[in-house]
Amino acid sequence: MVELLKLYVKSKAKPSKNTELMGYIFPSENIGLYLHVPFCKHFCDFCPYHKLKYDPALAREYAGLVKKEYRLHEPRRFNSLYIGGGTPSGDLTLLKELLDFLRDNVMGEIALEVHPIDATSEKLQEMKELGINYISLGIQSLDDDVLKHFGRGYSAKTNFLALENSIKAGFDFVDVDLVFDPLAFADKKIQSDLEKIMKLSPQQISVYPMMRFSCTKFRNTRNNSRKELKIFDRLDEIADKNGYERDTLWTYKKKNLVGRYTSVAREFYLGLGLSASTFSGEIFAVNTFSMNLYRKRLEEGKLPIEIVYHLKGLQGALYYSFWAFYAGKLDFARLSRFFPDSSKKLRVLFETLRLTGYLSKSSMIYHLTPRGQKKLHQFEEWLTYAFIDPIWCQLKENARNFKDLF
């Protein structure tokens, strides 16, 4: 069944040639806003995200362009704002300018990815004063050898200090990001990292297997999902012992805690900035990776979209379902409300997955079983290598053709 699903996704997911969209039509509720700040002072070896070398003058110009992009969209209220990068915590002047512009249209959390080097008590205080109440601290590891392997460019001591400062700072929600590479290090390293961080009691810890993107130095190898799944089994035990439980596919949260730091598991979202993506239910679009093209399109009064998928029929509903299951469960009544034409077919699919042990059901809610969780882990990796990696490579290549330097 899952193999058939992969064939279906592969046959249908073809980008449209027409990227001249005038705007997006969203459902009337539950839309998140994502802002990409693409500047980094240091480039890490494992990182596939789109980034440019930090330059204060370019950052000032970027703020103006993002505002232009925002004004091309219909005014609306968003239920959250997630700011990612790049290193959005690296330039608080840029952040202030954009938050002053966007803040009034956001009803829920304002969430920021924080680089450990920026997590000093003073800077964290400034972030709070800007209205940021959720942070995700990207430490990746507490081990110097692992940090070196990822090419992070600083030591574990910085991470320990950043953790202490971030937890003391009093944000409403602190997530800590960890990455592990089972092809390079023994399982004990990630187990020990998780245990140490859980002792400090942040609300959430995200644990990702390192993906080996073609644009990184790890391009010639692929993940070993079986090995990763065994590691997650052990991490689940450590979490349970320390008062945490698996929340989304790759996050652990304190037991019975309401709320979650997530820029990905959202029903619908509008992306602003270079390389940001948007999902409206009927459309999945990715902005250009090229600063030159981004500037040009906005000066012409056009949305800076470079790839767009028109998700006809089942496709939009499947995309929605994938991220709902990534977060652990799917409310079938909500799905039917947003995608009424697809609900009959999806009910057949979910009932088949239930009968084969991947899902369970209570009233109208489908939950991922442990077996389903493992299958989704493999499916997520398949999606990354079948779609995300080639799309990102192509968009990076296009940006080079526009003579962007990064």
Segment near ligand SF4 (CB under 6 A), from 42-50, 280-288, 296-304, 378-386?
42-50
CB nearer to ligand SF4: pick between 49 and 319? 49
Among 273, 297, 275, 301, CA closest to 286: 275
Residue nearest to ligand SF4 (CB): 47
Q: Does 47 bind ligand SF4 (CB under 6 A)?
A: yes
Residue 78 CA to its chain's centroid (Å): 17
Query: According to CB under 6 A, which residues from 131 to 150 bind ligand SF4?
Result: 138
Q: Does 339 bind ligand SF4 (CB under 6 A)?
A: no
Q: Does 86 bind ligand SF4 (CB under 6 A)?
A: yes
Burial label, 20 (beta-carbon count in 10 A; 0-12, 13-18, 19+): exposed
Between CA 276 and CA 190 the distance in angstroms is: 30
Between CA 267 and CA 280 the distance in angstroms is: 9
Q: Which tokens belong to 47?
A: 């990182």
C-alpha distances out from residue 367 to 230, 265, 358, 405, Å = 21, 15, 9, 45
Q: Among residues 26, 31, 66, 85, which is the contact residue for ligand SF4, using CB under 6 A?
A: 85
Among 71, 25, 38, CA closest to 273: 38
The answer to whether the peptide bond before residue 86 is cis (omega within 30 degrees of 0) is yes
Segment near ligand SF4 (CB under 6 A), from 28-36, 79-87, 165-173, 355-363?
79-87
Between CA 204 and CA 102 the distance in angstroms is: 26
CB nearer to ligand SF4: pick between 89 and 165? 89
Segment near ligand SF4 (CB under 6 A), from 47-55, 63-71, 309-317, 328-336?
47-55
Q: Does 375 bind ligand SF4 (CB under 6 A)?
A: no
Q: Does 44 bind ligand SF4 (CB under 6 A)?
A: yes
Rounded to a whole number of angstroms, the minimum distance from the CB of residue 406 to ligand SF4 is 10
Q: Among residues 36, 115, 253, 295, which is the contact residue for ligand SF4, using CB under 6 A?
A: 115
3-class DSSP string for 282-308 = CEEEEECCCHHHHHHHHHCCCCCEEEE
Q: Does 116 bind ligand SF4 (CB under 6 A)?
A: no
CB nearer to ligand SF4: pick between 207 and 353? 207
Interface contacts to ligand SF4, rule CB under 6 A: 40, 43-44, 47, 49, 51, 85-87, 115, 138
